[in-house]
Amino acid sequence: MKADLSQRVALVTGSAKGIGRAIALCLAENGADVVINDLDESQGKKTSEEIKALGTRSMFVQADVGNSEQVAKMASQVIERFGRIDILVNNAGVGTYGVPFQDYKESDWRKTMSIDLDGTFFCSRAFVNQMIKQRKGKIINISSVIGLVPVRLHTAYAAAKAAVINLTRIMALELAAYGINVNAIAPGSTLTEATRFIYEDPKTAERVLSHVPMKRPAKPEEIAGAALFLASDDADYITGHTLVVDGGWTSAYIREMDLV
């Protein structure tokens, strides 16, 4: 789809590469100025330059979304530079997989919760007052199908992504009066730099894709298309919703499975 996002400012967390990068580029291709946030300075600046080459404004801000002080500073930088924020995509996320519940480390739990859940809360809180002033804004939280259905050996990631979905709902309830839409996207298996190893191993790929009716992982651009829709005026009457983009994975889910 195409949308007119000209004169709008977007920030996408964790957007140096992967799904975040795809979303950032998609928003820019449709006219938005896009702020890139990531801890990876080199790749983040590269993505920001790609956006400038598309003809829209961009800047890179290195900040840990799990650190409220760094997030507050990032928000100040963005508002000072662009004067507004119209679209916030809380994409940054990490996860430790393959560890039984009883062996799961507290450090891994806290790291995952810090970025996946706290980061979503901190960034939304930091920018929402500006959206309230504008009486309009779009917040899009990236969750996961694992936040909707149970998957073994994903303790913190599954808990954090489920919490993101309910956080999305409560934000939608409270912020609708200010013209702010808050929605989530729950991607299924997606082929990125971080997940490529899954699909390079034939046995692992077959096991993962056996639960996907479409028999392939999503492309990052397909998740970006969902984000573009939710960021557009066409989605002005949608809030508190979780848009599942999973090739039918959750529709076909009938038993436990393992993911690497």
The residues pairing with 88 across neighbouring beta strands, listed in sequence order, are: 11, 139
Strand partners, 62: 38
Catalytic residue among 97, 104, 157, 178: 157
DSSP label at residue 152: B
Q: Which H or E element spans position 139?
A: strand 137-142
Q: Is 199 a catalytic residue?
A: no
Separation of first and last alpha carbons in the chain: 33
> Three-state SS across 194-236?
CCHHHHHCHHHHHHHHCCCCCCCCECHHHHHHHHHHHHCHHHC
**Considering only CA atoms, which of 244, 241, 246, 240 is closest in space to residue 259?**
246
Strand partners, 139: 88, 182
Residue type at position 199: Y
| Strand pairing class (242-245; 180-187) | parallel
Q: Tokens 């891994």 belong to which residue?
A: 108
Burial class (CB in 10 A: 0-12, 13-18, 19+), 109: middle
CA distance 110 to 32: 34
Whole-angstrom distance, CA of residue 243 vs CA of residue 168: 12
Residues recognised as catalytic? 157
